[in-house]
Amino acid sequence: MKSKKLLIINQLQFGYHSDTYYYCKYLRDSYNVTYLCWDYNEKRVDLNGIHIIYVPRTGNIARRNLRFMCHAINELKKGYGLNIIIYFRGCSFLKIACPRHTFLLDIRTGSVSNKKINRLAYDLLMTVEASFFKHISIISKSLAQKLGLGQKAYILSLGADVISACEKTFDSMNLLYVGTLYNRNIDQTIKGFSKFYHEYKNKIPTCYTIVGKGLTTEEEQLRALVKRYGIGSSVKIAGQIPHDRLKPFFDTHNIGVSYIPKTDYFEVQPPTKTYEYLLSGMPVIATETLENANIIDDKNGILINDTSEDFYQGLVKIYRHKKKYHSKEIRFNSLKYTWSEIVGDLNAKIASLMN
């Protein structure tokens, strides 16, 4: 019988943020979990045993943010053993409003804005707000150091589940990108893929599926690029797909694309998509960021620079060395990255905070 209650406050709608989806999935057997979030009018995702509270986003920015805070405070007052806040701007107000409650501030990302002044302001605000919290978890040691939280924060790494258990073969090259389109320069991968496709289409069947959305017109821009290069029969821009409906994509594709611009702010961001591909037995073509370089080796993928030409060259290398990739081996060697392992550590942390 579960007696301890856990509240997760996240402004992202439930099911569209993989980290908290898996927190809930693996904590629900130990706790009565409530998840409070915005309602972005996306298709709702259900998870048995999780109580989800949706806050409407109607009205101007001030009104809807006030509404979110009021809902959060009202829920906090019901009394939970632990309250996990996924960082959002202004979240320290909840600590001020409910000072006697136990909080864990969870930082999943630093700023990835392409404007330096915006990044500096956001990261500084995050550091200031984190000072209000006694207990902090963070996605990587490198980000903790960047934010000046190295001595205070508990490292709660990214992970993934085995989305696909299918053993992959490599008599075709079916590429899959899953993730945000915002500020990722995915157009460079399309340009590189186009060059590879036109040179190698008579040597090996090839396709590329892109799953995700951006903030404004990224999808439309990518579709226009696909049309311009004449590769519409081989490239699909699928839009956003809920996490619990990704399995068919991972079953039918055999090469993962973890394309992240090589910038100082992406260097410290562990890439969820890399773990997901590997645990589905897929070799990965990945830009050589600090965090990707810690994961990718000759047996599970290729590291490249962040240009269309390097993406093309990476595909050529994968084609030439495709016989050395073994799906079962890639998956087995990546089991340490599973969410069950990572949330198991989180569960121990939660238990210590509730005692």
- Asked which of 20-24, 170-174, 241-245 is least confident by mean pLDDT, the reply is 241-245
For residue 145, the surrounding DSSP H or E stretch is helix 141-146
User: CA triplet 182, 293, 295: central angle to 5 degrees?
Assistant: 95
Beta carbons within 8 Å of 162's beta carbon, 6+ residues apart: 279, 280, 331, 338
Which residue type sits at 301? Answer: G
Measured distance CA(94)–CA(304) in Å, rounded: 43
Q: What is the mean pLDDT of residues 332-341?
A: 92
Counting other chains too, the contacts that 54-63 makes at CB distance below 8 Å and 24 or more residues apart are 54/13, 54/14
Q: How confident is the model at residue 215 (pLDDT cuts 50, 70, 90)?
A: confident
- Asked which of 46-60, 150-164, 172-186 is least confident by mean pLDDT, the reply is 150-164
Place of tokens 């990302």: 109
pLDDT for 104 equals 98
Q: What is the mean pLDDT of residues 82-111?
A: 96
What's CA 95's distance to the chain center, in Å? Answer: 26
pLDDT in tens, 34-56: 999 999 999 899 999 999 999 99
Question: What's the CATH code, domain 173-336?
Answer: 3.40.50.2000
Q: State the number of CA atoms in the 13 A half-sphere of 144 facing the CB.
A: 17
Q: How confident is the model at residue 151 (pLDDT cuts 50, 70, 90)?
A: confident
- The per-residue DSSP string of 95-130 comes to HHHSTTS-EEEEE------SSHHHHHHHHHHHHHHH
Place of tokens 């009205």: 59
Cβ(84)–Cβ(106) under 8 Å?
A: yes
Q: What are the boundaries of each domain within the chain? A: 5-159+338-354, 173-336
User: Phi and psi (nearest 5°) for 157?
Assistant: -70, 165
pLDDT in tens, 282-330: 999 999 998 899 899 999 999 999 999 999 999 999 999 999 999 999 9
Enumerate the β-bridge partners of residue 9: 36, 85
Cβ(267)–Cβ(290) under 8 Å?
A: yes
Q: What is the mean pLDDT of the chain?
A: 94
Cβ(287)–Cβ(259) under 8 Å?
A: yes
- Above pLDDT 70, what percent of the chain? 100
pLDDT for 355 equals 78
3-class DSSP assignment, residue 40: coil
pLDDT for 265 equals 80
pLDDT for 1 equals 56
Left (φ > 0), alpha (ψ -120 to 50) or beta: where does 72 sit? alpha
pLDDT in tens, 109-139: 998 888 899 999 999 999 999 999 999 999 9
pLDDT in tens, 55-91: 999 999 999 999 999 999 999 999 999 999 999 999 9
pTM: 0.78
pLDDT for 271 equals 83
Domains 5-159+338-354 and 173-336 share a fold: yes
Closest CA to 325 of 275, 271, 278, 268: 278
Question: What's the CATH code, domain 5-159+338-354?
Answer: 3.40.50.2000
Q: Between 290 and 95, where is the model more confident?
A: 95
